[in-house]
Amino acid sequence: MSDFEPQAGGDSCPIFPRQGPRAVVLCDGPPPEPELLAYWLAGTDVFVCADAAGHPYDELPRLPDLVIGDFDSLSGRIIDGRDGPRYLQIADQYTTDSEKALLYLSERGIEEAVLLGATGWRLDHTLYNCHLLERFAARMRLCLVDPVADIVRLGPGTSVSWPLPEGTRFSLLPLNGTVRGVTMEGALYPLLGETLETGAFATVSNRVAVSPLLLTVAEGSLLVSVDRDAEPLDEDDAFGDR
C-alpha cells in the first residue's frame, strides 16, 4: 500500500495527482492486493475490468462499471444480471484488452487512467503495457501500478516537483529513444542536463535525498518508476547504485 494519505485514495498520489476525469482499469495480470485496488478506486469516476480481470466481481472493493475485451479468457463465465456489470465484447484481435479499455475510455472523455494488474506473469505483456504510456500520451495520462511502484511518463518539455519522502527509491528509463536535457534535483545522485539512452549509464534505484524531487525533461519520453514505500537513508547509500 501507499504511504501517501491512503484515506484520500489515489487522488493523493504525488506523482499522479488527479487533473481530470479518471478511470481505473484492472488488467488480467497478477491481481493487486485488495487494499491497493481500494486505494486507487477511492474517488475514481469509472472502474473497468479487462476481460477476466477481477472475476468474480463480488469479491472486488467495488463492482466494475464495465467489463470489456474479446472475452477469450472469460468464455463461459459471463452471467448477466440486473445488479451485475455491463459487458462489451470487442472481437478485434489487433488490440489487447487493456488497449480496448483505454480506447473506450478516451473516446468518452476520460482524461487519465490508472492500470493495475498490467505487470507480471509475462514479460512481453509487461513491456507492451509500459509502452502504452507512450502510445496514449496524446489521448490521456496514464499510470501503471505494480506491487511495489507507481510508473508514469514524463514527456518533452516537462518539469515536475514531487513531494516524496526522503529515501524513496526511483528509476528513470528512456521510453522512446534518446532523452535529452534530463535534470533532477533532490536526488542522492543528481543529474544536470544529461542525455539518457538505452544501454547507457544506469539511473536505477536512485534515492530521494531532499524533498521535493525536481525532474525536468527537455526532449524525448522518460519512464519514471517510483516506489510507494520509503526506506531511511544511511551512510552505506553513498555507495549504492546510480
Which residues are CB-contacts of 146 (< 8 A; sequence separation ≥ 6)? 118, 119, 120
Look at residues 101, 118, 147 and tell me which one is the last residue of a structural domain: 147
Distances, alpha carbon 25 to alpha carbons 76, 83, 99, 117, 234, in Å: 22, 20, 10, 9, 38
Same domain, 49 and 131: yes
235 and 164, same domain (yes or no): yes
Structural domain ending residue among the three candidates 106, 124, 147: 147
Say yes or no: 33 and 50 in one domain.
yes
Residue 128 in domain = yes
Percent of residues, the chain, with pLDDT higher than 90: 68
Residue 17 lies in a domain: yes
CB of 205 within 8 A of CB of 171? yes
C-alpha to C-alpha distance for 140 and 161, rounded to whole angstroms: 20
How many domains in the chain? 2
Q: Judge whether residue 194 has pLDDT over 50.
A: yes
Check whether residue 179 and residue 211 sit in a common domain.
Answer: yes
Q: Among 104-113, 178-187, 198-207, where is mean pLDDT lowest?
A: 198-207
Question: Helix 123-135 vs helix 97-106: angle between axes, to the nearest 10 degrees?
Answer: 20
CATH number at residue 82: 3.40.50.10240
pLDDT of 175 above 60:
yes
Query: What residues make up the domain containing 139?
Result: 6-147
Which three three-digit cell numbers place residue 242? 546510480
Could you tell me if 29 and 96 lie in one domain?
A: yes
| 13 lies in the same domain as 123 | yes
**The predicted structure's pLDDT at residue 202:** 72
Q: Are residues 90 and 168 in the same domain?
A: no
Does 212 lie in the same domain as 171? Answer: yes
Residues 160 and 141 both lie in one domain: no
Q: What average pLDDT does the segment 163-175 reach?
A: 96
- Is residue 115 situated within a structural domain? yes
Percent of the chain with pLDDT over 70: 88
- b vs e for 153-186, b when ≥16 Cβ sit within 10 Å of the residue's Cβ? bbbeeeebebebbbbbbbbbbbbbeebebbebeb
Whether 140 and 63 share a structural domain = yes
Q: Strands 141-145 and 112-116: what pairing?
A: parallel
50: how many CB neighbours lie within 10 A of its CB? 29
The confidence score (pLDDT) of residue 240 equals: 47
Overall pTM surpassing 0.85 (yes/no)? yes
Query: Is the domain of 108 the same as that of 190?
Result: no
In a domain, 204, yes or no: yes
For residue 1, tell me if it sits in a domain: no
Most distant CA pair in the chain: distance in Å?
A: 60
CA 162 to chain centre: 16
Out of 147, 180, 205, a domain closes at: 147
Same domain? For 122 and 165 the reply is no
Residue 76: per-residue pLDDT? 46
Distance of CA 196 to the CA centre of its chain: 21
pLDDT tens by residue, 95-142: 999 999 999 999 999 999 999 999 988 899 999 999 999 999 999 999
